[in-house]
Amino acid sequence: MDFYQKLGGLILGSRLRRLSEYFLAEVNKVYADKGLAFDASWFSVFYILSKNEQVSMIDIAETLEISHSAVSQLIKNLEKKGFIESYPSENDGRKRLLRFSEEGKKMQENIAPIWDALQNAMIELMQENENNALLLKSLESIENSFANKSLSERIKK
């Protein structure tokens, strides 16, 4: 840990990736312990579909602020697993809409309590000390700063 702390902002991306990988691995352990064949990397799509009866790939990409191709790859994987169905829009045949399959609905019902427990665990973590509580606000601030001026622009300057 000392290596990362000494390098500070120079290694921020690596620290965030390392923390993200740890977080996802820990959540995946919980899914596995509950006997659920679910991967934490699917969370965002499952969450969006849990709040919408149907949604387009374009809407998911825009909501998550990721490329259409990244969403397409994720959706193909979830379709192969039998969790999601895609079908053409009645209004625009070129547009594909997504919804949970019956298996996807069952999975959503099974993982919802884990999401609640995760939310509670994160609240507990944020309340452990004031620095933890500042994490989400700090991340939001950094995201907003990058929206105004990208990291690459800052480096080139």
78-101 per-residue burial string, b: 16 or more CB within 10 A, e: under 16: beebebbbeeeeeeeeeeebbebe
69/156 Cα distance (integer angstroms):
28
Report how far residue 16's alpha carbon sits from residue 86's, in angstroms, rounded to the nearest whole number: 33
Domains of the chain as residue ranges with CATH: 38-140 (1.10.10.10)
Per-residue pLDDT of the chain (157 residues; tens, 9 = 90+): 588 778 878 888 888 999 999 999 999 999 999 999 999 999 999 999 999 999 999 999 999 999 999 999 999 999 999 999 998 888 876 788 999 999 999 999 999 999 999 999 999 999 999 999 898 899 999 999 999 999 999 999 8
- pLDDT for the residue numbered 1: 58
Find tokens 């690596």 and name the residue: 14
The span from the CA of 64 to the CA of 74, in Å, is 12
Provide the whole-model pTM. 0.83
**Under 8 Å CB-to-CB from 94, ≥6 apart: which residues?**
88
Is residue 46 classed exposed, middle or buried when 0-12, 13-18 and 19+ CB atoms within 10 A define those classes?
buried
Residues 45/57, Cβ–Cβ less than 8 Å: no
pLDDT digits (tens, 9 = 90+) for 80-93: 999 999 988 888 76
Helix, strand, coil percentages (3-state) for the chain, rounded to 5, are: 75, 10, 20
